[in-house]
């Protein structure tokens, strides 16, 4: 093992990056996007000669807290945390700070004080919701448009912020009304089950103009439910969501989905770069390193978008 470690250290030094051991507390594998984030993080670590200690929390905060404590006990050089929910992190982040181990947040935010983490790498989650809402404002049919909403994990920053952003965007369009809203926990199965209950409660799809899903996986599950009800997704019910995973582009090409807002799975690259600078000479990064959010629709050659993403680990 020693020889292996030395080899890794030498390889890392050859790339000008000190050999680092970094703990990664990942939420789980609830969505295609999450799987891609894990794949890309492993690739970015390998490219930098970083020894990545990976923990899958199965979407449970207590498992993430235990993983962080374990990383602290192991004396890792830094910790990556994708926090499943926004609250409840103060004490464990204090422990990492006490141990002088920098923490970088990936793709979600925490309510803790900024001095408890080095930086956060992620998208503007409110803006993502607003882009989705603006697409509906610009593309809804004439007259009243009753919307059902599949929310992300309750208490997570994307669920809170994407809900707020969408509502801000539709505020000036009284024809658009969100009539049902429920969490599908960012999973396909959750999206399917909740969409089935929406359709049952609404007596079918005639009174539903659009679905806004906080991620593509819930939208894809909902599309299945809509089809099984004999309704035409993408036409009878417009579908707008977020992530830009390959399968949503396949759905778009088939006319079953209308729009998605891209979320890059590469949060780790900017995180590792910020850590390298900080650990080399104490360079303090900005507290928020923002990633882009681009809108894609059926007009953007969906199958080309699918081909460009299908091998990225989703």
Q: Which is nearer to ligand GZL, 107 or 247 (CB)?
A: 107
Burial (0-12, 13-18, 19+ Cβ within 10 Å), 54: middle
Burial (0-12, 13-18, 19+ Cβ within 10 Å), 302: buried
CA dihedral 63, 129, 206, 138 (to 10 degrees): -160
Stretch that binds ligand GZL, among 31-39, 97-105, 221-229, 252-260 (CB under 6 A): 31-39
CA 185 – CA 60 distance, rounded (Å): 12
Per-residue binder mask for ligand GZL (CB under 6 A), 97-126, x = binder: ----------xx-------------xx---
- If one asks whether residue 149 binds ligand GZL (CB under 6 A), the answer comes out as no
- If one asks whether residue 215 binds ligand GZL (CB under 6 A), the answer comes out as yes
Instruction: Answer positive or negative: Cα dihedral of 27, 297, 293, 137.
Output: negative
We find the least distance from the C-beta atom of residue 52 to ligand GZL, in angstroms, to be 19
Whether the CB-CB separation of 253 and 302 falls below 8 Å is answered with: yes
Burial (0-12, 13-18, 19+ Cβ within 10 Å), 141: exposed
Q: Which is nearer to ligand GZL, 118 or 263 (CB)?
A: 263
3-state secondary structure of 31: coil
List the one residue from 102, 133, 158, 246 that touches ligand GZL (CB under 6 A). Answer: 158
- If one asks whether residue 263 binds ligand GZL (CB under 6 A), the answer comes out as yes
List the one residue from 20, 25, 26, 31 that touches ligand GZL (CB under 6 A). Answer: 31
Q: Which is nearer to ligand GZL, 101 or 160 (CB)?
A: 160
User: Which stretches of 171-301 are DSSP H helices?
Assistant: 188-201, 216-228, 246-253, 268-281
Q: Which is nearer to ligand GZL, 42 or 97 (CB)?
A: 42
We find the least distance from the C-beta atom of residue 152 to ligand GZL, in angstroms, to be 6
Give residues in contact with ligand GZL (CB under 6 A): 30-31, 33-34, 107-108, 122-123, 158, 186, 215, 217, 242-243, 263
């Amino acid at each position: 093992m020693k020889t292996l470690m030395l080899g890794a250290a030498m390889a890392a030094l050859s790339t000008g990056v000190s050999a680092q051991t970094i703990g990664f507390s990942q939420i789980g594998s609830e969505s295609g996007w999450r799987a891609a984030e894990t794949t890309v993080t492993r690739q970015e670590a390998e490219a930098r000669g970083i020894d990545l200690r990976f923990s899958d929390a199965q979407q449970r905060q207590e498992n993430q807290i235990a993983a962080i404590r374990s990383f602290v006990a192991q004396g890792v050089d830094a910790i990556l945390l994708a926090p499943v929910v926004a609250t409840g992190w103060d004490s464990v982040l204090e422990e990492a700070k006490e141990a002088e181990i920098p923490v970088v947040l990936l793709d979600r935010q925490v309510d803790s004080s900024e001095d408890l983490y080095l930086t956060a790498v992620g998208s503007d989650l409110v803006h993502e919701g607003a882009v989705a809402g603006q697409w509906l404002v610009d593309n809804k049919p004439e007259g009243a448009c009753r919307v059902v909403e599949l929310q992300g994990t309750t208490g997570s920053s994307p669920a809170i912020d994407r809900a707020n952003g969408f509502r801000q965007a539709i505020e000036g369009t009284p024809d658009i009304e969100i009539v049902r809203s429920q969490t599908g926990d960012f999973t396909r199965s959750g999206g399917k089950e909740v969409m089935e209950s929406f359709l049952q409660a609404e007596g079918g799809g005639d009174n539903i103009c659009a679905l806004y899903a906080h991620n593509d996986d819930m939208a894809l599950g909902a599309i299945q439910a809509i089809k099984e009800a004999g309704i035409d997704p993408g036409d009878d019910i417009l579908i707008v969501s977020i992530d830009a995973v390959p399968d949503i582009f396949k759905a778009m090409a088939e006319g079953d989905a209308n729009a998605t807002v891209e979320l890059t799975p590469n949060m780790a690259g900017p995180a590792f770069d910020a850590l390298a600078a900080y650990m080399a000479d104490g360079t303090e990064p900005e507290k928020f390193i923002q990633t882009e959010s681009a809108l894609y629709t059926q007009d953007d050659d969906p199958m080309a978008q699918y081909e460009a993403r299908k091998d990225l680990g989703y």
